[in-house]
Amino acid sequence: MKNLILATLLVASILVMAYVDYQTIQGATYPTLAQESQNQ
């Protein structure tokens, strides 16, 4: 069960990073999201 949770968190973090990168490429940058992703 713990492995399933860890895998879900890993996939979620990858999706969030990909979404932030996509938004940055589009020119719609969100400084707060960028700072939060760097802190993690």
Q: Residue 28 has what DSSP assignment?
A: -
Tokens of 15: 């999706």
Q: Which domain holds residue 3?
A: 1-25
Model confidence pLDDT, tens digit, residues 1-27: 899 999 999 999 999 998 888 877 766
| 34 in any annotated domain | no
Q: What is the pTM of this model?
A: 0.51
| 31 in any annotated domain | no
> Are 19 and 36 within 8 A, CB to CB?
no
Task: Tell me the Ramachandran region of residue 27: left when phi exceeds 0, alpha when psi lies from -120 to 50, beta otherwise.
Answer: left
| 38 in any annotated domain | no
| 33 in any annotated domain | no
Closest CA to 20 of 6, 36, 9: 36
Structural domain count, the chain: 1
| 20 in any annotated domain | yes
| 39 in any annotated domain | no
Q: What are phi and psi of 18, to 5 degrees?
A: -65, -40
User: Is the pLDDT higher at 9 or at 34?
Assistant: 9
